[in-house]
């Protein structure tokens, strides 16, 4: 059985002096997930491990270092979806959770619900033994220097998709959303079919970009369904992105993996840091910057 992994660190613009560090961030996330996947761990474990790694990186818009809302608070959304069961766990508008993706998985596995938000999500987390952090501790120093007025609207969410040795696919997504967003605004990331989607018969996809357009277009559902009649994962991803851009004025990108381990990576932003595996080798690239193709 083939296994596979693709990770992105968010579609948007990447400042020249941050490119090396963003490449390192996606490479480290891929490394955190790839070895366990090779050792037989599940796709679900792999995508959670990858996203946890990115949530800890202050350069990326997820977990510690997430974007600030209009009140100057980091407000986080995340989701995970298991292609084997088609179950979902998601969390939105939380301020005190260091790893929202872990809480999303806990919601999926330990409640009859799919999405918990805000105060209720945090109360559930505390009851279940998650540490609640001081919201100030989620603000990375670089974020304090940025104005909190819709300064960067790229929604550079992070995400991962994987295929494991049992033929199961999964997706995980995590984000701080959009800089300067209204408190309480929730984007695509915790919404199944928008920010992420996984279905074992077809594949799994993770989206990044401006959430409102991704929600309207159901970008990842569209990409996964396109695997039914596209010649390749890359063609399916491109087909979904084309509709997203043309019909929904979309800005962003997505990664896709199919049942055979074929991958698609597309975006219409200047850059999107990605990492994926070819053979045994992790390849990390800033997609858009001299990218020469992938399987």
Query: Could you list the active site residues?
Result: 157
Nearest to 160 by CA among 13, 15, 275, 272: 275
Comparing CB distances to ligand GLY, the nearer of 65 and 155 is 155
Binding mask 112-151 for ligand GLY (x = CB under 6 A): ----------------------------------------
Comparing CB distances to ligand GLY, the nearer of 9 and 262 is 9
Q: How far is the CB of 29 from ligand GLY (least distance, A)?
A: 17
Does residue 269 bind ligand GLY (CB under 6 A)?
no
Does residue 68 bind ligand GLY (CB under 6 A)?
no
**Number of amino acids touching ligand GLY (CB under 6 A):** 12
Query: In this structure, what token pair is assigned to residue 108?
Result: 């999926």
Beta strands in 95-145 (DSSP E): 115-117
Does residue 157 bind ligand GLY (CB under 6 A)?
yes
Q: Which of 98, 188, 199, 258 binds ligand GLY (CB under 6 A)?
A: 188
Binding mask 193-232 for ligand GLY (x = CB under 6 A): ---------------xxxx---------------------
Displacement of CA 114 from its chain's centroid (Å): 17
Does residue 66 bind ligand GLY (CB under 6 A)?
no
Displacement of CA 236 from its chain's centroid (Å): 18
Q: How far is the CB of 103 from ligand GLY (least distance, A)?
A: 17
Contact 265/274 with Cβ under 8 angstroms?
yes
d(CA 283, CA 274) in angstroms, rounded, equals 8
Contact 67/104 with Cβ under 8 angstroms?
no
Beta strands in 147-287 (DSSP E): 158-163, 169-175, 196-199, 203-209, 252-258, 263-267, 272-278, 281-287
Query: In this structure, what token pair is assigned to residue 38?
Result: 């090779």
d(CA 188, CA 177) in angstroms, rounded, equals 9
Comparing CB distances to ligand GLY, the nearer of 3 and 274 is 274
Does residue 187 bind ligand GLY (CB under 6 A)?
yes
Which residues are at the interface with ligand GLY (CB under 6 A)? 155, 157, 175, 177-178, 187-189, 208-211
């Amino acid at each position: 059985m083939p296994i596979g992994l693709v990770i992105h660190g968010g579609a948007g613009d990447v400042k020249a002096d941050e490119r090396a560090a963003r490449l390192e961030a996606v490479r480290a996330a891929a490394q955190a997930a790839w070895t366990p996947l090779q050792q037989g761990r599940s796709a679900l474990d792999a995508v959670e491990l990858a996203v946890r790694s990115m949530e800890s990186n202050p350069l990326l818009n997820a977990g510690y270092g997430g974007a600030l809302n209009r009140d100057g608070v980091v407000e986080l959304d995340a989701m995970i979806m298991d292609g084997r069961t088609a179950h979902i766990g998601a969390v939105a508008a939380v301020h005190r959770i260091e790893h929202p993706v872990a809480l999303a998985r806990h919601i999926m596995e330990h409640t009859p619900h799919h999405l918990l938000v805000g105060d209720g999500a945090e109360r559930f987390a505390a009851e279940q033994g998650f540490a609640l952090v001081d919201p100030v501790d989620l603000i990375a120093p670089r974020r304090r220097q940025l104005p909190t007025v819709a300064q960067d609207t790229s929604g550079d969410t992070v995400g991962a998709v994987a295929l494991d040795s049992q033929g199961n696919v999964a997706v995980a997504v995590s984000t701080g959303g959009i800089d300067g967003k209204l408190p309480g605004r929730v984007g695509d990331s915790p919404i199944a079919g928008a920010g992420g989607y996984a279905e074992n018969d077809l594949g799994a996809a993770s989206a990044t970009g401006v959430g409102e357009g991704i929600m309207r277009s159901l970008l990842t559902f569209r990409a996964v369904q396109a695997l039914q009649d596209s010649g390749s994962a890359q063609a399916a991803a491109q087909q979904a992105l084309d509709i997203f851009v043309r019909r929904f004025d979309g800005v962003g990108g997505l990664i896709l993996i199919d049942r055979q381990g074929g991958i698609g990576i597309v975006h219409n932003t200047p850059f999107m840091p990605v990492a994926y595996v070819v053979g045994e080798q992790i390849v990390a690239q800033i997609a858009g910057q001299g990218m020469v193709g992938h399987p």
